[in-house]
Structures are given as structure tokens and as C-alpha cells.
Amino acid sequence: MLMLKRTELSAEEMRELAAFLPGADPEVKPRFRGADGCAGSWRPIIPVCEPVLGGNEIEYVRQAIESNWISSAGGFTREFEAAFARFCGTRYGIACSSGTAAMHLMAASLGLESGDEVILPTFTMIATANAITYCGARPVLVDCEPQHWQMDVEQVAAKITPRTRAVMPVHIYGHPVDMDPLIELADRHGLAIIEDAAESHGARYKGRPVGGLGLAAGFSFYANKIVTTGEGGMVTTNDPDFARLAATLRDHAFSPERHFWHSYIGFNYRLSNLQAAVGLAQMEQCERLIEARRRNAAAYGRTLASIPGIRTPAEAPWASSVYWMYGILVDAEEYGLTRDQLRRRLAENGIETRSFFVPVHCQPVYRRAYASEGFPVAERLCRDGLYLPSASSLQLEEIEYIAGVIRGACPGLGS
Ligand SMILES: Cc1ncc(COP(=O)(O)O)c(C=O)c1O
């Protein structure tokens, strides 16, 4: 694949996708005070997400600067790695520069090469698939299940070929994939599992934290993630050889025996000590940040429950979700407006939202490789899904206000 080649879809190819691709993001208009009963920290625009930097972030960054250790070789990097590995119940944490870098480090540490295949869900952010493509390997796509919007584990077996090397489940929006059947299948076929846990810090599968459920996992610390370093990522694993290789590849594959000596093509995917200082401060607060996400999800569930045509996310019996994003589905027939119409109404009332992911198989760069395959659940999620403001700092009054706007916009309920 020529990675720098731009791919445009033809008008006919676009027509096939038109039925479910989201429209442009609506402009969010500030609301006026008095438009609702919101007390406390009232704000004219409720953002879809924002970081919460309320702890020792500034103090630790100050310490990093005063120590003069501002690149990756500083104490905060090691402390952050140890704290995050503890949080995931793994032996190793390898901090890196982004979630995408974490995914690529995992793929590269597996030794993926041209012709290899990795099975992953089409309903994900494009970085999951790109990490495999960077290695010259092929992402093989499966649909998701309609109840929890996660990779449909039952579809994986049919996609295994002699070239399959790994399965890459993605815990979408903070909800864990049903891992036990996947682990059983992967073990039976000798496949590695690498989790894309970019969105799911602290989520649990049958009581076990994500990040330690397969050979390795990758996390993102982008500013909208529950734990953030601004930009950043982490690979977690229990495997010492995998950890060593990922750490080596992260740092240009410098040889421990001789300086400027390289036996692998490595990368510069290092996380700076300044970013790690922020990350360590975030780890001190992360249980509280997760608790706020779960409390907000419960409040959304209560306030949206009786609105016809609005489907709220279901938590599977195996799952403790962290609700990275609180997504809903809009059944246009039952609700009376389409997803995009509802997004416009919310934007007119100062509420920022996002449409769900456009699946990998619909992306211009991947479309032609998958045009003959059907992924109806992912396409329906792409057509009907949006996420509401989801930050850990969201106020209960704001949730009530948002639910009120959704209720008021429903033609059947009147205003
Ligand atoms: C599922 C998933 N994988 C990978 C990434 C990439 O992370 P980053 O933006 O930190 O590179 C994201 C980012 O949001 C994501 O949602």
C-alpha cells in the first residue's frame, strides 16, 4: 500500500455510503443564562468532553522543570509507568507519545509483516486499523454486536486464515468486549490478543481490569481521555520479552551494548517527563474521575429513559463500563427527528455532541478493500449514534438540562 497516496471516492462510491454517513458538525451556539435552572458552574457551551486537571498537575510539572529533566529520561516517566501498570494489574507499562504509537508499538513488537492478518472491529477509530497497516499487514474486519456495540466475537472464527496472527478487540466508548470466548478462540488457534484499550481506562471485564486481558494492550492519553497527558499513550503487558522489545522500539531501538547501534528499525515514540508528570497527577485522581463518569451515565440513563426513540447504552453482565463517551442511538421514526436533526437542536441550545465513528470499511483509504463485505450493525451505529457531553466534570444540572432539550425536541412529546 502506498501510504502517501490520497484516496478520493467516486460519486457512485459515495452514494453507497450516503445513507448513513453523518452530516457536518453543527455550529454550537452559546445559551443564555436563565434558559434553564442550572445552578453552580453555569457555562454557555457544554463541551462534549474536556480534561479535568484538578490535582497535582502543575506542582509535578514544576518539579520536572526545576529538576531540568524534561525529555523522557526522568523520574516521572518511570513513576507514571509503574502507577499505570499497577492500575491495570500488569507487570509492565511502556509510556509512549500517543495511543496510535501504543497500537503501532504492539503491532511492531508482534513482528507483524506483509501478508499477516489481524482481526479487528470495523466500528472503531481509524488508528486501530492504521497500526496494522503501518506494518504492511492487513486489517481483517468484523461487525459489532447490536446490544453493546462491541466487536462481535462470534464473527471472528469465520475470519481466521493461515495468515492470521492476532485479534485486536477494541473496548469501544469504555465498555469491555466479551473477552473469555475470544481468549478461548485465540488460544485454540495460537493467536495473540492485543487490546485497543485507548478509551477504557479502568473498565473491568468480570472484575478484571482491561489492559491485562491479552498479550498486551494500548491506551491513549489524548486530552479527551479519562486519564490524560495532553498527548500520550501506554502499552501494558505481563510478558517481559514483549515489554523489553516495545520499550526498545519506542526509543529508536538503541542497543544496550553500544551507543548509536541499531539492530531494529525503531521509532521515536517517547513520552516526555513533563507529560508523565501530568499523567502521574491524573493517576492520583483517576478513581474519582471514573466514578464521576459512571454517576453521570446513571443520571443520563434515568433522565432519558422515557423518551421514545432514544436508546441509551446497555452495560453487559460481564462489564463495568467507564463510559468514556455517553453514546445514544436515535431511532428517527420513533423519535421524530434524525440523529443529525437532533444534533442541530442540541447545538442551538449550547450543547456540543459528536456523531459516532465512521467505520473503517467506509473510510476512503480502506473502502475499496472491503466494498464487497457487509457490516450492517456498524453502519446503523454510524447513521443513528451520537455522543452527548461526557466529561467527568459534567454537572448533574447540565445532564438534566440536556435531557430536557432532547425531550423538548421530540415532536411526539410536544414542547
Ligand atoms: C479506539 C481508539 N484507538 C486508538 C486511538 C488513538 O489514540 P491517539 O489519538 O492518542 O493517538 C483512539 C483515539 O481516540 C481511539 O479512540
238: CA distance to ligand 1 center in Å?
A: 22
Q: Are 263 and 237 in contact (CB under 8 A)?
A: no
Which of 98, 104, 125 has most ligand 1 atoms within 8 Å of CB, for mutation? 125
Is 5 known to be catalytic? no
Q: Mean pLDDT lowest for which of 34-43, 175-184, 332-341?
A: 34-43
Domains of the chain with bracketed CATH: 11-51+286-413 (3.90.1150.10), 57-282 (3.40.640.10)
- Which residue matches cell numbers 488508528? 127
- Ligand 1 binding pocket includes 209 (Cβ within 6 Å): no
CA dist 60 to 32, 223, 224, 231, 273, Å?
38, 18, 21, 17, 10
The answer to whether the CB of 137 falls within 8 A of the CB of 112 is: yes
DSSP per position, 126-144: HHHHHHHHHTT-EEEEE-B
127 lines ligand 1 (CB under 6 A): yes
Q: Are 381 and 369 in contact (CB under 8 A)?
A: no
Q: Indicate which residue's Cα is closest to atom 16 of ligand 1.
A: 125
pLDDT tens profile 42-89: 899 999 999 999 999 999 999 999 999 999 998 999 999 999 999 999
- Convert the pLDDT of each residue in 340-388 to its tens digit: 999 999 999 999 999 999 999 999 999 999 999 999 999 999 999 999 9
Residue of the nearest CA to atom 8 in ligand 1?
Answer: 99
